[in-house]
Structure 1
Amino acid sequence: MSKSTYSLPLVDETAPVLLRERRIPWALLVLLAFALVVVPWIGNDYWLSAILIPFLVLSLAGMGLNLLTGYTGQTSVGAAGFMAVGAFSTYGFLLRLPELGLPVALLGGGIISALVGLLFGLPSSRIKGFYLMVTTLAAQFFLEWLFVKFPWFYNYGSSGTISAPKLSLFDHDLNTPVGRYLLTLVTVLILTWVALNLVKSQVGRNWMAIRDMDTAAAVIGIPVVRYKRLAFAISSFYLGISGALWAFAYLGTASAGSFDINRSFQILFIIIIGGMGSIAGNFVGAAFISLLPIFLDYAGQSLFGGAVDAGQLQNLQKIIFGVLIIVFLIKEPEGLIRLLKNLRDRWAHWPLRF
């Protein structure tokens, strides 16, 4: 009788690997503690309101578009339209049903945006590529027209804008820069955690299979149409919440023009520069988009003594964005996040790989 084989050693060897994959890096924990505790204490109003809050909101918006474009392969240029749906829906909940509270209003705005995204995602079952991009472009213009045409959405105000009601959570006032920053940060952290788990789940694997080749995904039994529509809904949910935060935590007052086609292209640039198919790439791309204008303004003041006009700096910014997008699409489609990972790998094997 031959000896039986045991698989316990294999399980013992594999378990630590799984645990290591789920372990949160110490650097990330330190960064989160710094963002939650230190930044509200040392940050001034300018940095909180003009730098960090828009950076976080744009990161969340990029995350929403990345789930659709980077992970599922569905082209969209209507991100800002779904942001507008979330902003106006959240405003309606806070204005007409104030007893719901801020968290429920944000969630409701995200759900309304998800339903609208699901509606405009229905053509994805029959068209893709350029034709789907044109469909989302039509959604962008239609939603802009809708929120301008019907005054009910902005409470019949003469200016056509929506103003942030009093933001509070559990009787704590959030109308200060620190309050709005913490509201945005906590919301982004929660939704980032959800997105990380989502892309690692069966849903995320199915999305990536559809992105790589939808015909092969259908052959192996993945319901392609259902998962494409789910991607539109979840992407629009993220964009809707980011739109509400953009209107109330950052701008304070917004109109349909705050979510125009330029905003859609800005979010698309974030995922291209940061890295499509990457959650961390959204933060890298949003940081680049947010900090580049500040850097150019500082450089213009320092090098040319203010002789460079602000309009010229904006044109220079657009030129740099255009060049970078071309470079990344040709040389590094995975964006800045791939360059950072390569640099980290080289540093880990220093000096052998330098």
Structure 2
Amino acid sequence: MSLMSANIRPSGVFDTSYAQDISINRTWWDKLSGYLLFGLLLAIPFLLESTFLGDIVSPSWITTITKIAIFAIAAQGLNILMGYTGQISLGQAAFMAAGAYSSAVFVRELGFTFWTALPAAALFTGFIGLIFGLPSLRVKGFYLAMATLAAQNIIIWMIRYPLDNFTNGVNPLPLENFKPVFFGQTVNHNGMYFIIITLAVLLFLVARNIARTRTGRAFISVRDNDLAAELLGINVFAYKLQAFFISSLYAGIAGTLLAFHTQTILTTQFEFLVSIELLAMLVIGGAGYPLGPLFGAAFVLILNQQVIPNIQPAVGDLVSSVLTFIPKENVVTATKPILFGLILALFLILEPRGLAYRWEILKISWKIRPYSY
């Protein structure tokens, strides 16, 4: 009897540690896989120099991965604004332009280094985001989208015309002579790759942990029901402005990194279509998930830069052979927007929560196997 009573435990909720709570969904393999992925990304430039991989993988993949990291940062900022706070924005590319051009002005005119221009441009862009976030006090939804669309046009117009003495207007603004310096050594192409990947990982970790803070929980409550959040004592307008500031700050960092990566800035790099592509990255990747911007940026950029250019000639030959009245050049030009729009529509219909949601489902199904339900 005493043996039986020793094995009997009272029912109820038992106190557990935080590590025990999160071990249900996050195992040691999750952390290890993250470290391995980060190490692999840092090792890619060295692997491409090897005889085996150098003949298989094109060096252009370094540029593609770098752009994925840059646009993932910008999309992560949009994720904080839209995925966490529920405020739509159609002007994220313009905030990238503000970061790119402000950092260029800082280094060219004020003598800043890359390491001081980066945070200065990020903060400057964040304050611009605060200004254009003011309409969120009175409007939301479609009307807020129109306000951010106005920001897209106003910022690009300001860069091209009133500020052309500093920004070079519609002409390219070169940065070849202002490369970053690290411990007295000028950073080369591979060095810039390491900087961008490291910053992308750090900013991803910051964005992931924002949701766990008081501010992040307030963001989510505003997204779910701003009226109920206000009744609970949350200053809805203040948190909306904070979301605009953080989102614009991320865009400013992304714009600065893009400027120093390409070494030349043009306003055409930040047109309205780029804002739509950033929005598509969030939809495809999954809004509200920390990994969503990374999945979305990788999907969209690989599709636009690796897949579509390789299939455009074949599509042009096929369509022009069937529809002889359409010139092949027109078909090739229309292939990219048609495929991009079609894929975006399919994601909205078939996988509205994005790739990150499907990834979470696959991970959980693997952990609880064979009980996949």
Q: TM-score, normalised by structure 1?
A: 0.87
Structure 1, gaps ≥5 residues long: 1-5
Alignment of 1:234-245 (within 5 A): 234-245=246-257
1:26: how far off? 1.1
Q: Which residue number in structure 1 is paired with residue 357 of structure 2?
A: 338
Match of 1:210 among 207, 222, 233: 222
User: C-alpha separation between the residues in 2 aligned to 1:33 and 1:342?
Assistant: 25
Alignment of 1:307-318 (within 5 A): 312-313=331-332, 315-318=334-337
Check whether the contact 2:123–2:249 (CA below 8 A) recurs between aligned residues.
Answer: yes
Residues 1:316 and 1:343: Cα distance change in structure 2 (over 3 Å) = farther
Residues 1:311 and 1:274: Cα distance change in structure 2 (over 3 Å) = farther
Q: Which residue number in structure 1 is paired with residue 146 of structure 2?
A: 134
Alignment of 1:188-337 (within 5 A): 188-249=200-261, 251-293=262-304, 294-299=306-311, 312-313=331-332, 315-337=334-356
Check whether the contact 1:301–1:307 (CA below 8 A) recurs between aligned residues.
Answer: no
User: C-alpha separation between the residues in 1 aligned to 2:220 and 2:356?
Assistant: 18
1:56: how far off? 0.7
Structure 2, gaps ≥5 residues long: 1-9, 49-57, 321-327
Check whether the contact 2:115–2:180 (CA below 8 A) recurs between aligned residues.
Answer: no
Deviating above 6 A after TM superposition, structure 1's stretches of 4 or more consecutive aligned residues are 301-308
> In the alignment, does 2:18 pair up with 1:11?
no
> In the alignment, does 2:196 pair up with 1:184?
yes
2:364 alignment partner AA: D
Q: TM-score, normalised by structure 2?
A: 0.83
Match of 1:59 among 60, 65, 72: 72
> In the alignment, does 2:35 pair up with 1:29?
yes
User: C-alpha separation between the residues in 2 aligned to 1:327 and 1:306?
Assistant: 23
User: C-alpha separation between the residues in 1 aligned to 2:371 and 2:248?
Assistant: 45
1:257: how far off? 2.0
Residues 1:304 and 1:74: Cα distance change in structure 2 (over 3 Å) = closer
Percent identity, please: 31
Match of 2:44 among 31, 35, 39: 39
**Number of residue pairs the alignment of both structures matches:** 342
User: C-alpha separation between the residues in 2 aligned to 1:236 and 1:146?
Assistant: 17
Check whether the contact 2:179–2:260 (CA below 8 A) recurs between aligned residues.
Answer: no
User: C-alpha separation between the residues in 1 aligned to 2:329 and 2:241?
Assistant: 43
Residues 1:245 and 1:313: Cα distance change in structure 2 (over 3 Å) = farther
1:292 alignment partner AA: L
- Kindly name which structure, 1 or 2, has the bigger radius of gyration based on alpha carbons: 2
Q: CA RMSD in A?
A: 2.8
Residues 1:324 and 1:183: Cα distance change in structure 2 (over 3 Å) = same
User: C-alpha separation between the residues in 1 aligned to 2:230 and 2:169?
Assistant: 51
The one-character-per-residue Cα deviations of 1:1-47 (angstroms, maximum 9, x if unpaired) are xxxxx9xx9334665224775966211111111112x2121236422
